[in-house]
């Protein structure tokens, strides 16, 4: 249940997740790892490596999108706060893809969330500690994506 | 060798580091932890908890500052790339201060950097793994701050 997204084909190898919505300059992907419910990747729709080179209208579009995403995920799942990060680390390891500018959007929860038959928890709330992906079906991923999309 | 910064007094308990420069809306602190050389904290000069509530002119000011900081630290220490993050996690632990909006700026290096008699390394280049603070004197901290400041 993905969206139509011509630019996404260029990003196929990046494994950013399932395309959820797009704006003029950005694509939001539901991230592969949903251990923190509604974690997304927000990728630029052109080849660009660093934040320094972002155009004014790309920033404006991003800022508006950030507001919509925070509001939607707050409403959908009562997220407590949001971590935003532009890291780009792994691209600089050997044998990796060309850097492609993207943001990580990680909702954080001070309470468990029941959704689609699963309990999503945030045991490291208050800290930044990576967790392995939560084992959920494609159907559940679609339900998460639809829930966010309807509120965006 | 800090700058004059009236708003900094309000942030004293936050331990963001040594005030390095300020713009109309933001203060850059040289972070307490210099294990990654030139790590900074960029804090807003008013009380605000979330990115969603940032004013347009505050974003514009931040975007310009981000470009200046990346350029300065690239020139000063040949940083390879930059991690930017707005996390706000620790404020939500018990008995913590009120959330105060700030960004983490963490330069990353694919090579050691010799500066002021120390070798600064980035052993986890390509990954996000916290490290304990590097043991350096106040004099060395001042030299790092001056070097960045003269290039900003």
Q: Is B66 on the interface with A (CB under 8 A)?
A: yes
- Angstrom CA distances, B90 to A23, A123, A125, A127, B94, stand at 32, 14, 9, 6, 9
pLDDT tens track for B54-84:
999 999 999 999 999 999 999 999 999 999 9
Q: Give pTM, 2 decimals.
A: 0.96
Average pLDDT of the residues in A30-58: 97
Handedness of CA A126, A144, A86, B68 (dihedral sign): negative
B66, B88, B128: residue with CB nearest A51 = B66
Is B38 in contact with B22 (CB distance < 8 Å)? no
- Interchain pair A127, B90: CB under 8 A: yes
What share of chain A in percent tops pLDDT 70? 99
A66, A85, A127: residue with CB nearest B52 = A66
Question: Could you tell me the pLDDT band of residue B5, with boundaries at 50, 70 and 90?
Answer: confident
Which are the contacts of A72, defined by CB distance < 8 A and separation ≥ 6? A148, A151, A152
Please name each of the domains of chain A with its CATH number. 6-151 (3.30.428.10)
pLDDT of A1 > 60? The answer is no
Mean pLDDT (chain B) is 95
């Amino acid at each position: 249940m993905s969206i139509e997204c011509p630019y996404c084909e260029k990003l196929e190898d990046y494994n950013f997740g399932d395309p959820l919505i797009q704006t003029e300059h950005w694509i939001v992907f539901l991230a592969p790892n949903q251990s923190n419910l509604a974690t997304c990747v927000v990728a630029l729709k052109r080849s660009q490596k660093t934040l320094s080179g972002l155009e004014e209208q790309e920033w404006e579009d991003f800022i508006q999108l950030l507001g919509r995403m925070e509001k939607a995920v707050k409403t959908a799942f009562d997220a407590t706060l949001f971590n935003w990060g532009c890291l780009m680390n792994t691209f600089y390891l050997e044998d990796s893809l060309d850097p492609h500018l993207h943001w990580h959007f990680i909702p954080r929860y001070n309470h468990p969330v029941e959704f689609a038959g699963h309990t999503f928890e945030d045991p490291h709330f208050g800290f930044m500690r990576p967790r392995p992906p939560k084992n959920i079906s494609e159907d559940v991923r679609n339900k998460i994506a639809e829930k966010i999309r309807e509120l965006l």
